[in-house]
Amino acid sequence: MEKKTYTPIIPELTKNAITVLERRYLKRDKEGKVLETPVQMFRRVADTIAAADKKFHEKADSTLIAEEFYHMMTHLEFLPNSPTLMNAGRELGQLSACFVLPVGDSMEEIFDAVKFTALIHKSGGGTGFSFSRLRPANDVVLTTTGISSGPISFMRVFDVATETIKQGGTRRGANMGILRVDHPDIMNFIMCKADKKQLNNFNISVGLTEAFMKAVEKDENYDLINPRDRQVSGALNARKVFNRIITQAWENGEPGIVFLDRLNRDNPTPHVGIIESTNPCGEQPLLPYESCNLGSINLSKMVQDGKINWKRLSDVVHLAVHFLDNVVEVNNYPLPQIAEMTLGNRKIGLGVMGWADMLIRLRIPYNTEEAIELAHKVMGFINEQGHAASQALAKARGAFPNFKGSVYDKKGEPLIRNATVTTIAPTGTISIMANSSSGVEPLFAVSYVRQVMDNDILLEVHPYFEAIAKERGFYSTELMQRIAEHGTLHALTEIPEDIRSLFVTAHDISPDVHIRMQAAFQKHTDNAVSKTVNFTNGATIADVARVYELAYQLDCKGVTIYRDGSRDQQVLSVGKKQEAAVPTDVDKDQSTTKRERPKILKGWTYQMQTGCGPLYVTVNEDATGLFELFTTMGKAGGCAASQSEAIGRMVSLAWRSGLQARQVIKQLQGISCHSPSGFGENKIMSCADAVAKAIQAHVEANGGKVQHEKRAFRKGACPDCGGIVEHEGGCAVCRLCGYSECA
């Protein structure tokens, strides 16, 4: 390798990027004090990954390639997946982001998978599963002469295990659950997340087959197959099942769909195994016990003087493939089965971020034919150069061990180093670090506000828009605030039309364009493409159906949709619409005159276990009914105690002014915080949720019934910092602090 000299640089990191690094990536001591700078982190990663070269050439000077890696990362041209940045050169040493584990049809195999899941989540990875091998609910269990509880009941076991693993405070556990459309329990699976209190640590997708899709087109029935004996156990109308998937996705964004036959059509090692599942965000199909190492090129850095710098893009692709192949080599795998399968196939997933930013720098609107044509050209180039880089590595290091067929070319040289080379992943936190748009998604917003400590409001503006607005003379703080309020530019006529057309956001773009852009990248990608089709709240079920059908027609491998507000605001009513009056309520007193407190009141105290410790909720009544509420934290003082006291005062005022218990419960129940406690029906989402549950328990204990409402996890706001979150690849990501629902 030709020796190059680089001047040490300090990466141009934004405040948000530094926040993300300090909270999630940089080394800390036992007291939580940050021990390294971002520059030191990049040096740690570059040196660790470059050291793999010595495995293939004993006398190799790895400092040369380390400098190349360091330069590429510090210039924010390429970043690997989060576990590599977190763990390279550290004791844990687990560098993969995604895994797939098999779930067999026996109690031993199921709980082995649960154990393996815990180990993977502890190490910072996410897991995908197919539950299609499990016999359906109420099926015979020969060994016990009992009946099976079915796949969904066991999914809850995995969900509870994931909830328990905290991953050292750096990454949340995330799962993908897939069930084949011909499984007898498919209708229950489609509806399994309709209740927002269940399976919150899972994304779910239905595995569709070509036979099923043809039956949908012809409005025919299709067979359901019992995986226990592979016998037909019933039939369903394909179009009705497809419509149920679409309707439920319209309701809350899930399930997504995965075209299983297409995943296996492109399976490079069918002799090794069949692809049953993907990683949590759906872009990485993997064999059972396989892992993959991902990384993304920042396309916004590949533009120079208004043109794409193809030479630098080629150089970065070759470096990135070298980097990711080294990651496979130095990785500390959490299980020996995973090490064997991963080293046998050496799959890597090189993708992109900053696509929307590249288009802006080239002055090409996202929702144009020119943009879609450029997507073909750019990703085609990356895929071609990526395979050339893998072939070059194979000449020096050998083909991946599970390569089958003509392993050598006519010159006797091995053909390719990696079974797969390209993947388009969601780039949540690493795109924040790179200050780029995420993956191949359009911009989420041009301007938005965020609240920080002491209730200060900060205005965040896309840097390219700010620069153009100042250059063209229409920048003002007032205008930026209006943009943040509108969420889009198209109605703001004081902004020049060409700028409004250029800075389109996710909701400005038609669903057809979303899918056509995904299909353009998919055509040149070995694995799959993570892409979310964002709908406005007013989108119809027919709109969602059109997207799912178009994804099939354009040869996508899967699709995820999100209708704005469908998870943030949706309320599911539980119980009858007309409930009996609650004896302890103040139904008769609807005046706004506050009742005076008597000297003596009777009361009940309820202990609620929150994520911040035990919370004692005391409910007092007067002769009329509920009168006041007090809270005491098990650990006095602190934010939680003060917030709980404030809730108690406001609830007391509400009751003394005539509000009913159910009205208070409705407002407090389901509010979430960063530290929930418990599982299932006993899960406490926050101190506010604990108060609501205590009131409900009190009312029901005294003979009343509450027409209560179950609220969805409020994905409109980040549970860590309160900022807005973006939906991508079936996941919620905060671009302010780096919180990611799917790690």
Question: How far is residue 185's CA from residue 170's CA, in Å, rounded to a whole number?
Answer: 35
Strands 290-298 and 285-286: unpaired
3-class secondary-structure state, position 644:
helix
Residues in contact with 406: Cβ distance below 8 Å, sequence separation at least 6, in sequence order: 415
Determine the 3-state secondary structure of 107 from DSSP.
helix
Task: For residue 556, indicate whether it is catalytic.
Answer: no
Pair 740, 733: CB distance under 8 Å: yes
Residue 455's region, left for phi above 0, alpha for psi from -120 to 50, else beta, is left
Catalytic residue among 175, 203, 252, 279: 279
* β-strand pairing of 290-298 with 256-259: unpaired
Distance CA 465, CA 484 (A): 13
E-assigned strand segments in 593-717: 602-610, 613-621, 626-633, 709-711
Which pair of tokens denotes residue 263?
């995943």
What is the C-alpha separation between 733 and 165, in angstroms, rounded?
20
Cα angle 530, 531, 534; round to 5: 155
Nearest-5° angle of CA 111, CA 112, CA 114?
60
Cβ atoms of 374 and 390 closer than 8 Å:
no
Question: For residue 352, which of 524, 176, 558, 170 has the smallest C-alpha distance?
Answer: 524
Tokens at 274, concatenated: 């069949």
Is residue 105 a contact partner of residue 226, using CB atoms and an 8 Å limit?
no
Within 10 A of 395 (CB to CB), how many other CB atoms are there? 15
CA distance 197 to 159: 11
Would you give the DSSP letter of residue 740? B
β 290-298/626-633 pair status: unpaired
Tokens at 547, concatenated? 């997207």
Q: What's the Cα-to-Cα distance from 740 to each of 17, 174, 393, 734, rounded to whole Å?
A: 14, 10, 34, 6
| CA distance to 298, 306, 374, 432, 643, per residue, from 457 (Å) | 30, 35, 38, 20, 21
Q: Which of 163, 283, 460, 621 is an active site residue?
A: 283
CA nearest to 567, candidates 727, 442, 719: 727
Q: How far apart are CA 628 and CA 630, in angstroms?
A: 7
CB atoms within 10 A of CB 133: 19
Is the Cβ–Cβ distance between 19 and 737 less than 8 Å? yes
Q: Residue 658: count other Cβ atoms within 10 Å of its Cβ.
A: 19
**How is residue 264 written in tokens?**
């296996």
> Residue 669's closest CA among 692, 686, 645?
692
Catalytic member of 281, 612, 721, 737 = 281
Q: Could you tell me where the beta strands, DSSP code E, fall in 537-648?
A: 558-563, 571-573, 602-610, 613-621, 626-633
Which residues have a Cβ under 8 Å from the Cβ of 655 and sit 6 or more positions away?
586, 625, 626, 627, 628, 629, 661, 664
For 474-533, the DSSP string reads ---HHHHHHHHHHSSSTT-TTS-HHHHHHS-BGGGS-HHHHHHHHHHHHTT-SS-B--EE
- Annotated catalytic, 283? yes
632 class by beta-carbon count within 10 Å (0-12 exposed, 13-18 middle, 19+ buried): middle
Residues identified as active-site = 279, 281, 283
